[in-house]
Structure 1
Amino acid sequence: MTWQQPVLIPADVETPDKIIGSFTARQVLILAGTGAILYAAYAAVGDHVPLLVCAAVALPVTVGAILLAIGRHDGIPLDRYVLAALRHQRSPKHLVSSFEDIPMPPAWMAANTQRPPAPLKLPARGVAGDGLVDLGPDGVAAVAEVSTVSFALRTPDEQDALAAVFGRWLNSLSGPAQILVRAERVDLSETIATLQDNARQLPHPALASAALEHAAFLGELSARHDLLRRQVLLIIREPSVGAHGRDAAAARALRRLDEASRVLGSCGLTARLLDARAVAALLASCFDPSAPPLPDDDIALPGEVITTGGTW
């Protein structure tokens, strides 16, 4: 009989390593680089500038380097936050959906100092008829909606079994996968209208009264609160290689999603592949999460002709 000692695994496996005391390589590089620059500057001008003036100039630089090295903003290191702010400031603010570079304006418009628009490069090129998201050179992605189970209401043995099944699926991953938990608005107008219409057809007045009261309760609930529902999505991505790489990547993504559905099904989870309209609606809602969901009839698939009703 062998005895195995348990090993603790840190929760945050992406924490950078500490190389000197509690400082990471990035922090040491910032502090050491700043110190080297200040020393080189003092060696160059120290004989011609008073020591007090050098100290007055070096003090704010040193404080700024320390803040950049150890400071954080919303959990992000301050130096990366400053770099992101500078990158945002220098990036164009007017973007258009074009896969080609925007040509420069003609010479007679040179008086306009406004920066010309730049192409909006989205990771998703479109949604195919099979529901897969075309990522261009990055391959394809399959999106499935996964049901949930109550982990807290299970017994300890059942919780261990659920964790074992989920760990087995994680160990079987052969490519990129993402679990996305998002909240979306719930529109009860159709449900309320259905209750009110069906209430008139109920055989007993008490049932009709109960249905109307429930419809009124749902209407008051939706008017006083922002109703949300949680949606769990499983995204499987496969890269495409070669001329026929898209078809091969799509087959691999669907096969991996089917394998995930079989493994997760053993713990009571169901994974449903979203069709083209559902994926298009999902991408549209990600651009404007606060907007109500669009009806399926208002969503056009790629290649469909958009028509409007009316008389000619």
Structure 2
Amino acid sequence: MSWTQAVRIPADVEAPDRILGSFTARQVLILGGTGAALYAAYAAFGERVPIAAFAAIALLVAVAGILLAVGRHDGIPLDAYLLAALRHVRAPKHLVSTMEEAPQPPGWIAADPGPLPAPLRLPARGVAGDGLIDLGPDGVAAVAEVSTVSFALRTPDEQDALVSVFGRWLNSLSGPVQILVRAERVNLSETIDDLRHSATQLPHPALARAAREHAAFLADLSTRHDLLRRQVLLVVRESAAGAQGRTAAASRALRRLDEASRVLGGCGLAVRLLDAQALAALLFSCFDPAAPPLADGETAMPGDVIGGRR
């Protein structure tokens, strides 16, 4: 006879450890620092300030310390939220896509030019030829497009099998991954043009009429509605630490995507690594999600020479 014992596993596995009662190390540090500051202030000024005035000031400081320790805003600790707000206020608001600092205006300009623009420092340095995003000192990231399966139309046994395969892949992860589900606009102009062109080459008049009617339907549909399609992306990131640097990080990222393709293939999901051109178009579309997607050949890779005709 085998016995099983239930073990409670917290839902938030990244929750900080509680070291003193229900308080974490951060909360103990804030509360202890507040108490030490009040004690030092009393030892230094307790005999010089009326006790009522010192008690009122100490009460305000104690309440502020307690709020910083236990308060939260949108799930974020209050001290971290205030620090992020202070960092946002002090950060420059006018950013330009250059790696150099903006020069100071000439001294003969009497008008106040306002704050100078600062360089826009994105985490991505560029797209390499092997289809990987160069993150500079943070390593590399590989992006793959993943197909979807209809979970609701499967039988309970098939649903259990899909969940089992997906759980097996999650348990095999050895590094950070991101599953990104995004919506992008669909441009049906090429499909409509292909239907109209092929309608003249069909062998039967009924087929040609059906093709033209379907092209008219798609044209009317794209005119009256904003057509969207869902895209599922799998992002794998690897750090560039070590002697090999980016080469080893790129090899690990590609190997992890290959493993994900083999495991997720068991539940009918196809994982396709985006090449450099498709990845550059994806990054460009993230800057303006409402814009229609760029056609092939309209994007320039880093290092390409852009010229024009006169």
TM-score under structure 1 normalisation? 0.83
Q: CA deviation at 1:232?
A: 1.4
1:220-264 Cα deviation digits (max 9, x unpaired): 541xxx443322111223333577643343333222211211111
Alignment of 1:117-132 (within 5 A): 117-132=117-132
| Equivalent residues of 1:196, 1:215 under 8 A apart | no
Q: Measured at CA, do residues 212 and 129 of structure 1 come closer, stay the same or move farther in structure 2, by a change above 3 Å? A: closer
Q: CA deviation at 1:127?
A: 0.9
Q: Measured at CA, do residues 134 and 212 of structure 1 come closer, stay the same or move farther in structure 2, by a change above 3 Å? A: closer
Partner of 2:107: 108
**In structure 2, C-alpha distance between the alignment counterparts of 1:149 and 1:40, rounded to whole Å:** 64
1:9-47 Cα deviation digits (max 9, x unpaired): 322211223334433332232233223222322332222
- Are residues 1:218 and 2:221 paired? yes
Structure 2: unaligned runs, 5 residues or longer: none
Q: Secondary structure at the match of 2:257?
A: helix
TM-score under structure 2 normalisation? 0.83
Letter in 2 for 1:214: F
Letter in 1 for 2:217: H
Partner of 1:298: 298
- Are residues 1:258 and 2:252 paired? no
Alignment of 1:204-215 (within 5 A): 204=206, 207=210, 210-211=213-214, 214-215=217-218
**In structure 1, C-alpha distance between the alignment counterparts of 2:5 and 2:243, rounded to whole Å:** 51
**In structure 1, C-alpha distance between the alignment counterparts of 2:129 and 2:219, rounded to whole Å:** 40
Q: Measured at CA, do residues 285 and 18 of structure 1 come closer, stay the same or move farther in structure 2, by a change above 3 Å? A: same
1:33-87 Cα deviation digits (max 9, x unpaired): 2232223223322222222222332333333223322222222122111100111
Partner of 1:236: 236
| Equivalent residues of 1:38, 1:58 under 8 A apart | yes
| Equivalent residues of 1:165, 1:263 under 8 A apart | yes
Higher mean C-alpha displacement, 165-174 vs 135-144: 165-174
- Are residues 1:148 and 2:144 paired? no
**In structure 1, C-alpha distance between the alignment counterparts of 2:213 and 2:68, rounded to whole Å:** 63
Letter in 2 for 1:211: H
Partner of 1:157: 157
Letter in 2 for 1:275: D
Q: Measured at CA, do residues 221 and 2 of structure 1 come closer, stay the same or move farther in structure 2, by a change above 3 Å? A: farther
| Equivalent residues of 1:195, 1:215 under 8 A apart | no
1:114-141 Cα deviation digits (max 9, x unpaired): 4444333222111122211122222222
- Are residues 1:187 and 2:184 paired? no
Alignment of 1:1-312 (within 5 A): 1-99=1-99, 102=101, 105=104, 108=107, 114-192=114-192, 194=194, 203-204=205-206, 207=210, 210-211=213-214, 214-215=217-218, 217-219=220-222, 221-222=224-225, 226-240=226-240, 245-308=245-308, 312=310
Using the aligned pairs only, state the percent identity.
69
Root-mean-square deviation (Å): 3.1
| Equivalent residues of 1:184, 1:229 under 8 A apart | yes
| Equivalent residues of 1:133, 1:141 under 8 A apart | yes
Higher mean C-alpha displacement, 154-163 vs 108-117: 108-117
Q: CA deviation at 1:278?
A: 0.9
Higher mean C-alpha displacement, 112-121 vs 201-210: 201-210
Letter in 2 for 1:262: R
Q: CA deviation at 1:272?
A: 0.6
Q: Measured at CA, do residues 89 and 48 of structure 1 come closer, stay the same or move farther in structure 2, by a change above 3 Å? A: same
Structure 1: unaligned runs, 5 residues or longer: none
| Equivalent residues of 1:188, 1:218 under 8 A apart | no
Q: Measured at CA, do residues 43 and 284 of structure 1 come closer, stay the same or move farther in structure 2, by a change above 3 Å? A: same
**In structure 2, C-alpha distance between the alignment counterparts of 1:208 and 1:264, rounded to whole Å:** 37
